[in-house]
Structure 1
Amino acid sequence: MAETPAPEQTTGTIDNTLDNVEVDTSFESDSAYGDELSSYTASLASSVLDYRYENGRRYHKFREGSYLLPNDEAESDRLDLGHEMYLQILGRKLYLAPVKNPQRVIDLGTGTGIWAIDFADEHPQAEVLGCDLSPIQPSLVPPNVKFLVDDIESDWAYEGNPFDFIHARYLAAAIKDFRRLIRQCYQSLKPGGWVEFQDWDGFPYSADGSLKDTGLERYFNEVTGTFQEVGYECRPGPKLEQWLKEAGFVNVHAEKFIIPHGVWPKDRHLKKLGAWFQAQIEAGFEAGALAALTRFKDWSKEEVMILASQARADGRNPKIHAMYNFYVVYGQRPEK
């Protein structure tokens, strides 16, 4: 992954104090100023809610193009289905880090906000912030949770009001520079605070070779390959432990969970996990491929739909034993 470029050098001194900012003195009254403020606020709201529509799906407008999956109702339903799957994987736990009495928490890439809402219900003493590119979260939420539209790959400003716990789940194929993101997590945690990433190695495998030369394998070759070509990290799971250590985190712990695709395993627990995984990914095949392949590979919508259909059919084939690795990795900022 390319290193973050050094800041551009400037000549002279830039003064960001109020003395260097010209004041608009045209307002004749407080009401005129209020009207001006309202117009700018409306403009900002419009830029966030003016979604992009493409191939029958809806995409975010804020920082347009930085995230390649839809944000429509179908995708929200899939994400909420995935939330239940993650609870099944973790034994109904929202997180594994040994967090005690958290007071200030942030959920990165919160999506529908379902994790943040559940966490706020479990920890009514905590102030919970959910951050995402899209304002698709519900309006009726616990009083201790708030949602913010922002790009988590941009510069943060939380160092002056740091967190006890930072949580991030399923950012594979959404983030280009995980190392930078993890460093920002470190800088925005209180001493002794915890960060936890829950994420995938976003490519399937099979122990018996049954995945080879299937439509399912081709789907991931095409789609994951395209995401990687344009700079997204699709396989962060196995790298997270090392990235956290490099950033300075201590007490780093990593757990790997094997998740089957479908109900082919004999083990009842794995069969259940496989059913949940299949249910959510079948809706995700189209969502994951449409923007990437039509924008960057000149595929038609029809070609993408055929590829998704072939992957979906192979996922239901009991003779194809695909599996995925899911990782939960947490670490602590040193007390001193």
Structure 2
Amino acid sequence: MTETSAEGQATTTASNAQPNVEVDTSYENDSSYGDELSSYTASLTSSVLDFRHENGRRYHKYRDGSYLLPNDESENDRMDMLHEIYLMVMHRRLYLAPIKKPQRVIDLATGTGIWAIDFADQHPQAQVIGCDLSPTQPTMVPPNVKFLVDDIESEWAYENDPFDYIHARSLSVSIRDFEKLMNQCYRSVKPGGWVEFQDWNGYPISEDGSLDGTALQRYYQEVYGAFETAGYEVAPGPKLEQWFKDAGFVNIHVEKFVIPYGVWPKDKHLKKVGAWFQAQAEANGFEALAMAALTRYKQWTKEEVIALSSQARADSRSRNIHTLFNFYVVYGQRPEN
């Protein structure tokens, strides 16, 4: 297995090793990095345009309740910020699989569609499909992109028209049965084709114990406990390799990237990533993740969710709490035969 070093480079390590991230003790003012990404405001022309409004946020209505995060403009802006974070972490790469001139590609749970659009620009010979429960993608897109409203946990119909490459990113807290989804990917990719999942271990860690007992730690315990009650997988990243093996993929490759929370790292690359990650959380990220899960499955009130989110947000700003997340990129190939 490989992981990134403190400088962001991939290095070979044991699968259970933790990154050693040095804390910046100079306390320099590095709280602002970059500008927010431009949000996509146009919606996909579709017959599925009804939405659920709840606790001041907007949610998808097609297959109502299948996905517990909002799909309003505030959330779309935050998702586009996360896209930039993934690019920074992966050194501007959209994918790691060794694909060559793919002709047919699908992006599962495409969200705002930004990955599919970027991929289509890089590969004009490919026909790219982005599918999602919410029709919130832009209409002004490259000619080789189309978006579909679909539930990827339902039965697929792609086996007779398989893909050269299947991509899925950040499906944590979105999928109940990853093993079924992985088997569907195997059946729907061409022999010799590649499947790539990029996903989180949702639970944060701290190498020095500074996260222990904090409101930030309690936030993730409470929120992810609600998602687990609802049947969702909250930490798919470290399990992806085994799911790829069980589905029958070969030539499996695993990389683990470390993403800090805030500007406390000494390493300038990680400091920049951490600043962006904190910025997306500040953009209503705490409430977005927690609101539906806690109010629908743990009977919290809106005010209680806001209070917990406020406490977690305060902890996230502290340079004395050194929070890290692990992000995994795993790809595998369907055998030629």
- Output the CA distance in 2 between the equivalents of 1:274 and 1:317: 12
Aligned match of 1:317: 318
Moved more, 135-144 or 278-287: 278-287
Q: CA deviation at 1:45?
A: 5.2
Counterpart CA distance in 2 for 1:45 and 1:299 is 34
Q: Deviations over 1:145-195 (max 9, x none)?
A: 000000000000000100000000000000000000000000000000000
**Partner of residue 171, structure 1:** 171
CA contact (8 A) 2:229 2:297 kept: no
TM-score of the superposition, structure 2-length normalised?
0.86
Runs of 4+, deviation exceeding 3 Å: none
Aligned to 2:194: 194
What secondary structure, in the 3-state scheme, does the structure 2 residue paired with 1:253 have?
A: strand
2: CA distance, partners of 1:312 / 1:322: 12
**Which residue is 1:98 aligned to?**
98
Which gives a bigger RCO, structure 1 or 2 (Cα 8 Å, sep 6+)? 2
Helix, strand or coil for the counterpart of 1:166? strand
1:140-155 equivalences under 5 Å are 140-155=140-155
**Aligned partners of 2:46 and 2:135 also within 8 Å:** no
Give the partner amino acid of 1:68.
L
Structure 2 gaps, min length 5:
1-44
Q: Residue 281 of structure 1: CA displacement?
A: 2.2
Instruction: Identify the residue that residue 256 of structure 2 maps to in structure 1.
Output: 256
Secondary structure, counterpart of 2:71 in structure 1 = coil
Question: How big is the shift at 1:257?
Answer: 0.6
1:215 is aligned to 215
Q: Distance in 1 between matches of 2:168 and 2:56?
A: 29
Quote how far apart the aligned CAs of 1:276 are: 1.3
Q: Runs of 5+ in structure 1 lacking a partner?
A: 1-43
* 1:51-71 CA distance string (max 9 Å, x none): 000000000000000000000
Separation in 2, partners of 1:284, 1:106: 27
1:234 maps onto 2:227 in alignment: no
**Following superposition of structure 1 onto structure 2, how do residues 299-310 of structure 1 map, counting pairs within 5 Å?**
299-310=300-311
Deviations 1:255-281 (A, max 9, x none): 001111001011111111111111112
C-alpha distance in 1, partners of 2:276/2:193? 32
User: Which entry has the higher C-alpha Rg, 1 or 2?
Assistant: 1
Give the match for residue 80 of structure 2.
Answer: 80
Aligned to 1:297: 298
Distance in structure 1 (CA, Å) of the matches to 2:116 and 2:46: 22
Please, what TM-score do these two structures have when normalized by structure 1? 0.86
> Given residue 239 of structure 2, which amino acid in structure 1 is its aligned partner?
K
Provide the identity percentage: 71
Q: Tell me, what secondary structure is at the counterpart of 1:49? A: coil
Distance in 1 between residues matched to 2:176 and 2:286, nearest whole Å: 21
Partner of 1:71: 71
> Could you tell which deviates more after superposition, 269-278 or 154-163?
269-278
